[in-house]
Every structure is written in C-alpha cells, then in structure tokens.
C-alpha cells in the first residue's frame, strides 16, 4: 500500500532522514518506533504528500506521489486516514459535526449518506449519546476516538496514527489500542503507528521499524525486536518508553 524507497530529507544542511526504505502492506499494522525529533512524524507527512523528499521516492498504492500537484494528491490522500497526536478537532463543532465536516466539504454526497456514515462511526467508536457534545467536554481518550472515527469516514485503505496513546491514562490507552486492532479485524484496514511507547508496539503491531539518528536500524516482525543486539534497541526494551 505504501512504500518509501531510499528517501532522504534535509532541512538546510541538517539531514533528518537518510536513505530510509519502508514498506507497509495492506491489512497490516506497522509501528515506527523512535525517540522524539528523530523524524517519525516526518515519515507520515511524506506518506501523505505534505512534504517532499530531498531524494528518493514515495509510492502510495503503486503511484509515486513526490511530484504530484495538490489536485492530483487529493484522491491519493483519500486512501489514507490521518489521526493527529493532538486530534485536530474543531472546538466549536459537536462530535457529529466534526465527523461529517470533511464529507460535506469535499464530497458531493446526499445528506442522508453523510448522516449514515456519521452514525456508523459513532457506533464504531462507542460514542453513542455524545453526538451533540463539544470536544472540550470529552475525555482525552474519547477525543482520540472521535479523531479515529473522522479518519475512517472517508472509507480509506490505511490509517496513519501519530502517537495514538501519548498523554492517555492506561485504561484509555488500552481502549485506543483495541480500537486500532479492530480496524484490521472488522474493517480490513492497515495502519501505520508512530510511537515512542514500545509496549504499544507489542500490543498491536504485526511488524515494526526502528528509526534512530535518521536511519532504519530494524525492520521486521515486532517479536523479533527481542532478538536484536543493537545497543539502542536493547536500551528501549529495558526502559519500555523513550524519552520525549
């Protein structure tokens, strides 16, 4: 579904990513693990075409997107849903309005179909009874579930998550990870999860890539992290959580 081939990215003289190659298969949950500032979120932006690599290629569903215009990127981006770390909800809109906003803005759908899709995501996220609430009245975990519902409402093939459990209590984190797992089981979707919490990787990911100093130092099935002899991976297995 998504592939990065020898992607490098520089800001001026500073190289953020160096010759990064990654493949994300359909119906697979892949985690990208690493400390803050290493370039994990940058990889998500490259996948969405929000940034362009200095060198290398980015493919989405077989299409190389690095040179596409914004108009050409729109149908590509519709294949991917994005769940931002801060959720990016509209504070002045109700939960139902947040969920339906981008459908009304971007697709010529009958209002009945929009309402059907909104209710579908309300049920999936377990938010029945909160349709007319504003985001500020919800817990952090519930706001995250709204953001996941909004990402799903376009019916994408892949969901991208930027630190999905950061700042959440253990109970809310468990609910979010369960929801992510159910995407594949019930919706036949794949997912990319950027995280600094290694337990999230073992709880939900099929495979994992570790980004360290701008390079991929591990890319394999998640359980094989335990077999790695790399000093950085050994240290994060001991600490369980990377420093922000």
Task: Decide if 15 is inside a domain.
Answer: no
- Domain region containing 146: 89-154
Distance between CA atoms of 80 and 139, rounded to whole angstroms? 26
Residue with tokens 């100093």: 213
Judged against a pLDDT cut of 70, whether residue 23 lies above it is answered with: yes
Residue pair 95/146 in contact (Cβ under 8 Å)? The answer is yes
Task: Decide if 81 is inside a domain.
Answer: no
Distance between CA atoms of 68 and 194, rounded to whole angstroms? 25
- 132: buried, middle or exposed (CB in 10 Å: 19+, 13-18, 0-12)? exposed
How would residue 186 be classed by pLDDT, with cut points 50, 70 and 90? low
How would residue 244 be classed by pLDDT, with cut points 50, 70 and 90? very low
Task: Decide if 192 is inside a domain.
Answer: no
Task: Decide if 99 is inside a domain.
Answer: yes
pTM of the complete model: 0.89
Give the number of domains in the chain. 1
Task: Decide if 31 is inside a domain.
Answer: no
Q: What is the DSSP letter of 37?
A: T
Distance between CA atoms of 60 and 79, rounded to whole angstroms? 9
Q: Among 139-143, 174-178, 180-184, 196-200, where is mean pLDDT lowest?
A: 180-184
Query: Smallest Cα–Cα separation from 31: which of 223, 241, 205, 211?
Result: 205
């Amino acid at each position: 579904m998504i592939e990065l081939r020898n992607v490098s990215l520089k800001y001026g003289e500073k190289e953020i990513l160096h010759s990064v190659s990654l493949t994300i298969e359909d119906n697979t949950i892949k985690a990208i693990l690493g400390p803050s500032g290493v370039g994990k979120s940058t990889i998500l932006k490259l996948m969405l075409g929000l940034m362009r690599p200095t060198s290398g290629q980015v493919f989405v569903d077989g299409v190389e997107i690095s040179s596409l215009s914004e108009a050409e990127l729109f149908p590509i981006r519709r294949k991917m849903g994005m769940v931002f770390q801060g959720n990016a909800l509209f504070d002045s809109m109700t939960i139902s309005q947040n969920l339906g906003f981008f459908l009304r803005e971007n697709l010529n759908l009958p209002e009945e179909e929009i309402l059907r899709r909104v209710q579908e995501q309300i049920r999936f996220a377990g938010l029945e009874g909160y349709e007319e609430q504003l985001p500020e009245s919800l817990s952090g975990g519930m706001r995250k579930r709204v953001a996941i519902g909004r990402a799903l409402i376009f019916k994408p093939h892949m969901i991208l998550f930027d630190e999905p459990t950061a700042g959440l209590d253990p109970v809310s984190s468990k609910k979010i990870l369960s929801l992510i797992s159910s995407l594949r089981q019930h919706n036949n979707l794949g997912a990319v999860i950027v995280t600094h919490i290694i337990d999230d990787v073992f709880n939900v990911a099929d495979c994992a890539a570790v980004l360290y100093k701008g390079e991929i130092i591990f890319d394999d099935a998640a359980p094989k992290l335990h077999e790695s002899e790399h000093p950085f991976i050994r240290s994060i297995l001991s600490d369980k959580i990377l420093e922000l």
